[in-house]
Amino acid sequence: MLKKKGYNVIGLFINNWEDPVFKCNWIKDSIDAMLIANKLKIPFQVIKMKKEYNKYVINYMFNEYKIGKTPNPDILCNEKIKFNFFLKIATIKLKADFIATGHYVKKKELIKNNKIIYRILIGKDLNKDQSYFLCRLSQYQLKKSLFPLGNLTKDEVRKIAKSNNFCNAYKKDSQGLCFVGKIKLPEFLEKRISKKKGKVIYIKSSSSIYKNNNISKTDNFFSIKKKIKYKETDGKIIGYHSGAHQFTKGQRKGISIGGYKKALFVIDTDIEKNIIYTGMGREHPGLYRKYLFIKEKDIHWIRSDIFLSLEGEKMKVFCRIRYRQSLQKATLFKLKLGILIFFEKMQYAISEGQFAVWYLNKELIGSGIIS
């Protein structure tokens, strides 16, 4: 596509991972990329970044799980690897003007006060839109990036691949950890975090702990009732697990305890005491909240002309707290220590460590790490 538009294109493949146990398909993928490059008659080379990937993505994952948070390695991989180290190699070492990636997003430019502002918009294929994963990019990173698939659907991309007899035309969509693929998380975490037997506590949905669990408005500010801090005495022991770090809010698989009318879900974890708290059924009140908080240091605005800076400011937005979640109506409130996001509807399994991202219409304008 870019070649047809007149760009002088070179093919680059990033090799970030090699592990004798948790293997990825990087060799096969790199061969596929090389064959396509040969078919297009463009130069091709493999860029190794295993040290950088281990430092900024893998270490980040383990550190977050150790303290009971739910990381998003794909977002860090984009911020630190693809659009940082890889971009520098392409533009400085190889003298490229841009890098082009296969993300399903649109990039547009806006002239404001004689200055170019780069915008990220939701891709044409709403089922494949990947703007969520680019929520930490800077104006410079956007300036140097192209997203040729933004105005196409996945089916249209496959048709183009088939018409050109590309070897990956029928390849399944990639899934799992960025550059690694599908992994069994408990086994992966065991590489650095030892198993440790802990209690599984069951909390009834009718528990008094859920009464008045909300926030109240006072003048122009919000008084937040502290998140529920569960105690063993709030429920009963129903079994044991091999490490609270292996679980995240909303998780169903891995609890392995039967005898209930509905499935058990993780409603919270206590890493220090190595306890997981569970409730019966997806409708359990412990799984839902209408608000979340983001610390000031964890907020990222994509545009320098759209942001909240003064205490008391607010902004109506659309928000999502996980990839492929439908956009949710919400309001951002600027507080002294960060931003409060208040949703119009209850949200399922808001997890600390994950990223909340927000949009004005179809434009991604900011994000933050959930506290």
End position of a domain, from candidates 136, 165, 189: 189
Q: Is 36 within a domain?
A: yes
* Predicted local distance difference test score (pLDDT) of residue 186: 81
Q: What CATH number did the domain enclosing 30 receive?
A: 3.40.50.620
23 and 153 in a single domain? The answer is yes
State the Cα–Cα distance between residues 363 and 97, nearest whole angstrom.
Answer: 25
pLDDT reported for residue 219: 39
Catalytic residue selected from 24, 135, 178, 319: 178
Do 166 and 43 fall into the same domain? yes
Number of domains into which the chain is organized: 3
Residue 51 neighbours by CB under 8 Å, 6+ apart: none
d(CA 354, CA 347): 14
Q: What is the pLDDT, as a whole number, of residue 21?
A: 67
Is 319 an active-site residue? no
User: 219: burial class by Cβ within 10 Å (0-12, 13-18, 19+)?
Assistant: exposed
- 132 with 255, same domain: the answer is no
Q: What is the CATH number of the domain that holds 357?
A: 2.40.30.10
User: Is 243 within 8 Å of 253 (Cβ atoms)?
Assistant: no
pLDDT at 191: 85
Per the structure, the complete domain to which residue 165 belongs is given by 11-189
pLDDT score at 19 = 75
The alpha carbon of residue 231 and the mean position of all alpha carbons in its chain are separated, in whole angstroms, by: 30
Res 330: pLDDT:
98
Same domain, 131 and 174: yes
> 161 and 212 in one domain?
no
First to last CA, the chain: 42
Q: Specify which residues 334 forms β-bridges with.
A: 339
| Cβ atoms < 10 Å from Cβ of 48 | 12
* Reported pTM: 0.92
CB contact at 8 A, 14 and 29? no
Domain boundary pick from 239, 267, 283: 283
Q: Answer whether residue 237 is part of any domain.
A: yes
What count of other Cβ atoms lies within 10 Å of the Cβ of residue 298? 16
Low-confidence ranges of the chain (pLDDT < 50): 217-222
Does 135 qualify as catalytic in the annotation?
no
Q: Which of 24, 77, 135, 319 is catalytic?
A: 77
Q: Which of 189, 219, 253 is the last residue of a domain?
A: 189
